[in-house]
């Protein structure tokens, strides 16, 4: 019968879009499907037999805290047998961060004892909607061709729209200016192709670190701008700090062995009554330079 055919289940798992892997009680990885390879860049032969606490995927939460040694949902499920669902960021083999929704369930033996756990993880970056927006912006010449994010022309229109909504409905919004720290040094030391890769990864990670409703674009050079709607100062501060922390965990490969660690500085301000959007951007820009002067790799928010 079909339900008795183990090959059927193996083929079913292999062709799932989601990533799936099994671990034993020692967190040794016993199985790794094609979906896991697609989402992480690691083939099964690179992973099976290794341990989760080898920190291969370097899972972090939204605050940038490492989970592989402390806070691992697999470890907790193996310990208490309870299922879990959490949102985390894994590090792809190429070095960029990927937001994923993780679901963990225990694997039970015939006697009901816990023999391990299964983790199913899926891309949490709303990729389909993002691709639709990219294609629409490409047609309208609103796309930055290097980063595949909205360009300055689009962001200026989005700022005008957010400001109009603020004037009519009093809906607050914040502006973030994000700058790659020591970008000229990266270009000079590793070359412009490496610099381009850094900009791509910074932009992608920034978009993934913010909320789906927020708008992120390339403002110019190594600067990015984000429009964060329906937020207060403390919410804006939390989002800016999260962006700084998550960006600091990204590593961009250069050549076969070397990787570039990056950081960003951020200036962020909430729109004020009587203030034009141009003034809000200028204020965020001043706050950015306050972050730079204070030592970089930080956010200054008001």
Question: Which residues are tagged catalytic?
Answer: 222
Residue 302, CB half-sphere, CA atoms under 13 Å: how many?
A: 12
Which three-class secondary structure state does DSSP give residue 254?
strand
> Quick one: CA torsion of 149, 157, 238, 290, rounded to 10 degrees?
90
Listed in sequence order, the residues at least 6 apart from 262 whose beta carbon sits closer than 8 Å to its beta carbon are: 180, 181, 186, 198, 201, 202, 247, 248, 250, 251, 252
* Cβ-contact 134, 81 below 8 angstroms: no
Q: What is the largest CA-CA distance in the chain?
A: 72
Of 233, 90, 215, nearest to 155 by C-alpha is 215
Q: What is the DSSP letter of 92?
A: P
Task: Round to whole Å and give the CA distance between 52 and 70.
Answer: 12
């Amino acid at each position: 019968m079909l339900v008795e055919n183990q090959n059927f289940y193996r083929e079913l798992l292999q062709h799932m879009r989601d990533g799936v892997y099994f671990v034993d009680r020692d967190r040794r990885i016993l199985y790794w499907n094609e979906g896991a390879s697609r989402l992480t860049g690691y083939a099964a032969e690179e992973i099976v037999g290794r341990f989760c606490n080898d920190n291969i995927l370097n899972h972090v939460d939204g605050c940038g805290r490492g989970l592989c040694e402390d806070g691992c949902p697999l470890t907790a499920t193996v310990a208490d047998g309870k299922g879990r669902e959490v949102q985390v960021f894994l590090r792809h083999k190429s070095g960029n961060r990927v937001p994923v929704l993780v679901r963990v369930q225990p694997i039970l033996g015939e006697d009901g004892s816990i023999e391990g756990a299964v983790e199913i993880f899926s891309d949490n970056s709303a990729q389909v909607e993002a691709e639709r927006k990219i294609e629409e912006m490409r047609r309208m010449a609103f796309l930055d061709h290097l980063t595949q994010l909205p360009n300055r022309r689009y962001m200026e229109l989005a700022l005008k729209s957010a400001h109009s909504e603020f004037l009519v409905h009093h809906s607050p919004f914040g502006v973030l200016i994000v700058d790659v720290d020591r970008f000229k040094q990266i270009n000079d030391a590793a070359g412009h192709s490496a610099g381009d890769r850094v900009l791509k990864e910074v932009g992608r990670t920034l978009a993934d670190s913010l909320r789906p409703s927020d708008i992120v674009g390339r403002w110019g050079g190594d600067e990015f701008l984000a429009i964060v709607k329906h937020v207060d100062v403390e919410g804006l501060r939390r989002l800016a700090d999260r962006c700084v922390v998550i960006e600091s965990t990204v590593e961009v490969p250069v050549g076969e062995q070397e990787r570039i660690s990056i950081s960003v500085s951020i200036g962020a301000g909430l729109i004020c009554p009587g203030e034009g959007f141009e003034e809000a951007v200028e204020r965020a820009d001043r706050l950015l330079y306050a972050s730079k002067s204070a030592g970089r790799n930080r956010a200054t928010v008001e």
